[in-house]
Amino acid sequence: AQSVTQLGSHVSVSEGALVLLRCNYSSSVPPYLFWYVQYPNQGLQLLLKYTTGATLVKGINGFEAEFKKSETSFHLTKPSAHMSDAAEYFCAVSVQAGNMLTFGGGTRLMVKP
Amino acid sequence: EAQVTQNPRYLITVTGKKLTVTCSQNMNHEYMSWYRQDPGLGLRQIYYSMNVEVTDKGDVPEGYKVSRKEKRNFPLILESPSPNQTSLYFCASSIAGTRGGTQYFGPGTRLLVL
């Protein structure tokens, strides 16, 4: 069975600092990987996804993530945090036909002025 | 505007009183799904549907029912709610059969069972 682990349920950074949100997965087959963002009182919105091809994936709002098969990781980064990035971030994996996603526990990002 | 809608957004009820949370999408998606979100556990899938009249259990189906009589609607039914079903619920939809497809989420329904 597949699983997703997000290290750090809460991450705090200063505005302008690097954002790094960690995601590790376990899967017996090549995974498709996703990052979703949830702003307060809203549903989840896709930030970016990796399916095949280039392992460095760029998403919306300046975020990017790199698929590292040897490390079974898909960490999310952004060079410079903005106050509007404060939200909860979810990593998810898809390992089978169809649309089923397995989510990590989420990381709440706080951005300090 | 392409969207997934859920109603109600907030609901307080008592143990044992049947309730239904509606979900509707206007994107002609075949696939629809219900998740519950609990702190530290992320989103866990309750039920999903690959198309009309085709539904299947997710990871945490106990205490829930669903139906898919029309393509656009996928209601979640709690026949006898219990306090452990207090949670934040999300409906999602996507094009079916696409493993890498994007799921579109509704705004969520916050349920409190007393």
From A89, which residue of chain B is nearest by alpha-carbon distance? B42
Residues A9-23 have pLDDT tens digits of 999 999 999 999 999
Inter-chain contact A44–B43, Cβ cutoff 8 Å?
yes
With an 8 Å Cβ cutoff, are A94 and B40 in contact? no
| B97 pLDDT above the threshold of 90 | no
Grade residue A85 by pLDDT with cuts at 50, 70 and 90: very high
| Three-state SS sequence of chain B | CCCEEEECCEEEECCCCCEEEEEEECCCCCEEEEEEEECCCEEEEEEEEEECCEEEECCCCCCCEECCCCCCECCEEECCCCHHHCEEEEEEEECCCCCCCCCEECCCEEEEEC
The pLDDT score that the predictor gives to residue A97 is 59
Name every chain A residue with its beta carbon within 8 A of the beta carbon of B45.
Answer: 100-101
**Residue B28 sits at the chain A interface (C-beta within 8 Å):** no
Contact list, A43 vs chain B (CB under 8 Å): 4, 90, 92, 105-108
Which residues between 9 and 68 in chain A have a beta carbon less than 8 angstroms from any beta carbon of chain B?
A: 9, 32, 36, 41-46, 49, 51
**Cβ pair A43:B90 closer than 8 A:** yes
Query: Where residue A98 falls among pLDDT bands split at 50, 70, 90?
Result: low
